[in-house]
Amino acid sequence: MMQKHILTLGANGQLGQCIQKAASQFTEFKYTFLGSKACDVTQKEDIEKAIQEKKPDFLINAAAYTQVDLAEDEKTKAFSVNAEAVENIAKLCHEKQVQLIHISTDYVFNGEKNKPYLETDATDPINVYGASKLAGEQAIERIMSSYYIFRTSWLYSQFGHNFYKSMHQKIGSGMDLKITTDQVGCPTNANDLAQAILKVISTKIEAFGVYHYSNSGRATWYDFAFEIFKNENALEGVQLSSTDFYPTKAKRPVYSVMNSQKISETFGVEIKDWKISLLGLQG
């Protein structure tokens, strides 16, 4: 029996690298990983060539424009990667009968809810990044039926650029760090998301649609920073304080905790508490 083939785009980004790491535990699949140099998702011919040559059964789109504040000034670029490229990927996957797994964000919501967001809740992004990601979701839903959209939140890992790594670089610096408490969400270990994606594919349960996946619990960015330093016994080495006001160019959802029950019940995906998952990465 031939191995099913998974093609991952955006392979050199944070999530792409975590998927490469997780792949060793899902040996029933054949894998191809393409970074932006090998496949620029903003070039339709690059996507077409990759699908034509690799003939995947599944395509994981881990490519994204994620600079939330910069997106306010680079709207065209954000929509090019997060919406137009996604539309092209969806069209080509639909034509070639490839199952698409696409990553979206908690920022498709406005943050005005006070309990965890469900997949069925109304979307209403309040910044360009969120709007571009929602446009990508809508393109997939318009074009395809064989797709999974995973909305996730506050991704971090040992790879790429993220809040966790930024805080780690400050250990022992003695710096005065003011971290905001004005947003509530859930830090999500990108290694856990990578495992969840491959687990969903491996179950062979074709329950297509939108799913929320984040670690469980809730936190402010200050809570996240505190936990990072605490786990490293490094609280003495920085001057950590909280602020309820931290100006940013892009508005953020005040509350963006997501309910991940649907993916857990449908596919048996484990949802770890964010503090436990963070400790697992740092331990």
What digits encode the pLDDT tens for the residues 65-76? Answer: 999 999 999 999
User: Please, which pLDDT band fits residue 198 given cuts at 50, 70 and 90?
Assistant: very high
The pLDDT of residue 217 is: 98
User: Could you tell me the pLDDT band of residue 1, with boundaries at 50, 70 and 90?
Assistant: low
State the catalytic residue, choosing from 31, 65, 107, 129: 129
Answer whether residue 99 shows pLDDT above 80. yes
- What would the pLDDT profile of 52-92 be if each residue is shown by its tens digit? 999 999 999 999 999 999 999 999 999 999 999 999 999 99
Region 2-8 average pLDDT? 94
Q: What is the pLDDT averaged over residues 247-252?
A: 91
Burial of 86 (0-12, 13-18, 19+ CB in 10 A): buried
Q: What's the rounded Cα separation, in Å, for the pair 156 and 159? A: 8
Q: Where are the beta strands (DSSP E) in 154-208?
A: 155-156, 176-180, 188-189
| Separation of alpha carbons 192 and 172, rounded Å | 28
Domain boundaries, the chain: 4-155+188-216+258-272
Q: Are strands 188-189 and 176-180 parallel, antiparallel or unpaired?
A: unpaired
Banded pLDDT at 247 (limits 50, 70, 90): confident
pLDDT recorded at residue 175: 84
- Region 124-147: what's the mean pLDDT? 98
Q: What CATH architecture applies to the domain 4-155+188-216+258-272?
A: 3-Layer(aba) Sandwich (3.40)
Q: For CA atoms 16, 17, 23, 25, give the dihedral sign.
A: negative
Mean pLDDT of 106-133: 97
For 124, residues 6+ apart whose C-beta sits below 8 A from its C-beta are: 108, 109, 110
Active site residue 156: no
